[in-house]
Structure 1
Amino acid sequence: MYRKQTIGILCIIAFIALSATVTEKFGNNLKPEPIPPSQQQPGKAEKGYEYLITGNYVSSGFPYKFYRIIAGKKKGNYLNRTGKNATVPFGFNVIKNEQGIDMVVPTCLQCHAQVFGKHLYIGLGNSFIDFSNTEKQNTILTNTTFQILKTIAPKQFEGSKAIVQSFKAVYPNLQTKVRGVNAADRLAMLLVAHRNPVTLQWSDSTLLTIPEEVVPTDVPAWWLLKKKNAMFYTGFGRGDFGKFLMLSNILTVKDTTEAAEVYKHFADVLAYIQSIEPPKYAKPINKELAMEGELLFITKCSKCHGTYGTNGQYPNLLIPEKIIGTDSLLFKTNQQNPQFIQWFNESWFATSNHPAKLVPYNGYIAPPLDGVWITAPYFHNGSVPTLEGVLNSKKRPTYWSRDFTKPSYNYTAVGWNYTTHKNTGGRKVYNTTLPGYGNYGHNFGDDLVDADRKAIIEYLKTL
């Protein structure tokens, strides 16, 4: 009881102290801004899980017979699926299209699941995805593979037309500078630029001006969503989360009739996502050191990232650019290209009794830290390979790479083992000097001594 009271008092002191520090440094006009909650529709988690791994929210893909020829046999049935679904990777699903043909389609787990060790963690962002070679992939997929398919199986090719037109439009313009970062924001921009906001019908010509930059992001863990009042790193996804979660549907959607049918399932998908718990730290934890780290965390970090445990609270704060100081290209892209904000806020997604909307902001949301130990690399662009680097900016490498074939984890620094380089080395080396890839900012741990950083990291392992 005494320890809980002590922690509570320290929490209040920390909140007051940090608020005073922020005001002193940046003035009253640059305080963190709380995000109000939005009412979400209730759903059933079991149904959501089933729809997530077997549903037809993407309705066009490869004919199954053709896919098996070019892809061969896969290893592991991580989802324990049955039938044809047992024969495709976890990031794909087999559906029957309107012509009754079995089609292999991509699912949300392409980005929102990752194998760690020997286990698949649904909800863990896929930090090994590769968007750095999409120009070559576009040539193989749309100019070679589908041409062969069209020639040898024209009837089956009909079911692939929607995804082919999307690939042709987005793949040449989706390429990131390095592998391991995600281009989801760019993908959404490219797709909506080809769709009427009211009908969602496809246009071969672009309807919006598309910016040149491809902004990289790291995929946030799904299990954090249960605490958040807004989606995405910028906190600009407000209203019905189901509308945002179903955005992969615009890859192949025909019109709003199909979108409305898909949307019926996403209250269940949200319920499943909110049921996901973060994995527990995989190694022993020094409990005494972790207790020291908890007190330090409450004093140093809880104002923005919240408190944890039975009575934990998460403040849902947007942190202004001048306070957080991290790479600004992501939120600036939102601000400097208002045509996409307007498209969404005037689209089908913003209609009905459960609308969604985009509210841009000059800064980033301070995320919850549940399961943070397994979510490396860190920052919104995946520019920092370890928690040690998050708390000590001097230990952030400028050029670094990690093994994608046999990755290994560092349980001391907490993050992926990596190799430093003296200069850039192509798409396999993370280059933090590039716009959008910067590893600067969030220097709040720089004034800690090494022993305090070690204690905080030990505590973070417990979340």
Structure 2
Amino acid sequence: MKKTLIIFLLLATCISYLAFVADFEKPVHIEPSVQRTGDAGKGYEYVVTGDYLKSGIPYNLFLKGFGSSNDNHLKRTGDNEKISYEYTAVNAPNGELVVAPNCMQCHAQVFDGKLVMGLGNTSIDFSQNKSVGRMAGNLYTMLSLLNPKQLQASKSFLQATRTIAPDMTTEVRGVNAAGRLAALLVAHRDPQTLQWSSKPIMDIPKEVVPTDFPAWWLLKKKNAMFYNGYGRGDFSRFLMASNLLTVSDSSEAREVYGHFNDVLAYVYSLEAPKYDRPIDKELAESGQALFNDNCSKCHGTYGEKGEYPNLLIPSNIIRTDSALFKSNSSFPQFIDWFNKSWFTTGDNPARLVPFDGYIAPPLDGIWITAPYLHNGSVPTLEGVLNSKARPAYWTRDFDKPEYDYASPGWKYTAFDKPERKAYNTTLPGYGNYGHYFGDKLTATQRKAVIEYLKTL
């Protein structure tokens, strides 16, 4: 009798354990959070002309060092007319005119001669950040000797840039270091007052984990922000986080926050650009059926009755490079800082909720958002659906970029071995493995799915 009871208990324990493991390995649905409403028109004006960064490079020195821009993609007037779209001229608190980076540094890109708002800027270059830090330090020294008033206007921008830029250098051009930027900034700021500390208040991991640039127009469908889905609560709190670069204290943060409900409304108003080349309708219809059978459970369905499931996919299923979500676990001080900070106060708090995996994103406008995967390691959509087509070492022309509308994705050059300035997928954080779901499709089926994806 005792032997039977022991066997029964062992079986019950095993069944419970297997049920736990099976449940743990399933995709996790993200519940929505209440978001503030706002005016999209006001949000656009604030994005392109607002002073959410109140410190920068003195206007006269900026024009002398960077030159004026003749493109004026945003049709701005006044002091901004001669400045490239990714910068904004603002008056510092002491009245000095300075030029500060703006949201379009990362969230807009010139594509085929036209500025696409909300498209991730995959031409940005974080690989030169060590020299950027040195230049900021030199400018700080020069202004301290020659123009104290301009130094006062530029101080917060220059001190932050010279401190953090050298430690957020990526291996290649075209990937983002935004996660690293956030970690470095909070390491130098008090969580409640947000005031700057010249010495870091926490230890900072050495790794710089690259990410791709998610399109802004996808956010309206998502219940969590960022590739690992750990941005929960009020999205406008996260959108304004760039203010940490120059913010003086929490009172300034509250003033800036007062505008970001409008910014969120503007982001929600953006729509994905339509593919403007011929599409094989019959092939696309075939691809839609294949997509709905093989991809829609994670990425959703599209059209008037389309639904997006908002799923976090565990690492054991997606199997893509784990450095990004693991960086949260290796730097719990960052999570703790945020979840006890000013960003979690008030009626609309934000919070960070780590997860071992990634969001399966919506695919609206996916044809224009190359390179692919969360770290930008795959240059074409063909490579996303066929892991054998992914180059281990590759580069593309940033001076005269060419887009392959058929594949689609950036035209690139592949190498057999590591090359200087080439994307090296063997480096930690830069891996192009995982997301093998398209490998089971035939070449004809993949072509059909890609044709359908062009319609989204």
When the two structures are superposed, what TM-score results if normalisation uses the length of structure 2?
Answer: 0.95
99, 104, 113: which one aligns with 1:109: 104
Check conservation: 2:286, 2:448, Cα contact below 8 A: yes
Check conservation: 2:124, 2:174, Cα contact below 8 A: yes
* 1:107-145 C-alpha deviation (Å, 9 max, x unpaired): 0110000000010001000001111121122112322x3
Aligned to 2:6: none
- Structure 1 distance, partners of 2:415, 2:160, is 37
Amino acid at match of 2:87: F
Q: Which runs of 5+ in 1 are unaligned?
A: 1-22
- Structure 2 distance, partners of 1:229, 1:28, is 21
Q: Which runs of 5+ in 2 are unaligned?
A: 1-17
- Structure 2 distance, partners of 1:135, 1:97, is 26
313, 326, 336: which one aligns with 1:332: 326
- 1:151, distance to aligned residue in structure 2 (A): 3.2
266, 284, 288: which one aligns with 2:260: 266
Q: Secondary structure at the match of 1:120?
A: strand
Q: Secondary structure at the match of 1:253?
A: coil
Aligned to 1:121: 116
Aligned to 2:294: 300
Amino acid at match of 2:79: K
- 1:149, distance to aligned residue in structure 2 (A): 3.4
Q: Secondary structure at the match of 1:149?
A: helix
Identity over aligned pairs, percent = 59
1:445 and 2:438 correspond: yes
Check conservation: 2:72, 2:81, Cα contact below 8 A: yes
Aligned to 2:5: none
115, 128, 138: which one aligns with 2:133: 138
- Structure 1 distance, partners of 2:102, 2:23, is 45
- 1:164, distance to aligned residue in structure 2 (A): 1.1
Q: Secondary structure at the match of 1:446?
A: helix
- Structure 2 distance, partners of 1:195, 1:28, is 39
- Structure 2 distance, partners of 1:233, 1:374, is 18
Q: Secondary structure at the match of 1:319?
A: strand
* 1:77-134 C-alpha deviation (Å, 9 max, x unpaired): 0000011111111010011122221111110110000000010001000001111121
88, 92, 95: which one aligns with 1:93: 88
- 1:349, distance to aligned residue in structure 2 (A): 0.1
Aligned to 1:361: 355
* 1:393-432 correspondence runs (5 A): 393-426=387-420, 428-432=421-425
33, 37, 55: which one aligns with 2:32: 37
- RMSD of the TM alignment (CA)? 1.2
* 1:30-429 correspondence runs (5 A): 30-143=25-138, 145-426=139-420, 428-429=421-422
- 1:168, distance to aligned residue in structure 2 (A): 1.8
1:457 and 2:450 correspond: yes
- Structure 1 distance, partners of 2:171, 2:414, is 17
Aligned to 1:6: none
* 1:389-427 C-alpha deviation (Å, 9 max, x unpaired): 00000000000000000000111110000000111112x
Query: Which structure would you say has the larger Rg?
Result: 2
Q: Secondary structure at the match of 2:54?
A: coil
Displacement over 2 Å in runs of 4+: 26-29, 145-154
Amino acid at match of 1:461: K
- Structure 2 distance, partners of 1:62, 1:179, is 23
- Structure 2 distance, partners of 1:451, 1:462, is 18
Check conservation: 1:113, 1:120, Cα contact below 8 A: yes
Aligned to 1:8: none
- 1:457, distance to aligned residue in structure 2 (A): 0.2
- 1:152, distance to aligned residue in structure 2 (A): 3.2
Check conservation: 1:66, 1:149, Cα contact below 8 A: no
353-362 vs 165-174, which deviates more?
165-174
Amino acid at match of 2:260: F
- Structure 2 distance, partners of 1:147, 1:77, is 32
- 1:170, distance to aligned residue in structure 2 (A): 0.5
Aligned length: 438
Check conservation: 2:274, 2:365, Cα contact below 8 A: yes
Amino acid at match of 2:424: N
* 1:63-82 C-alpha deviation (Å, 9 max, x unpaired): 11121111222130000001
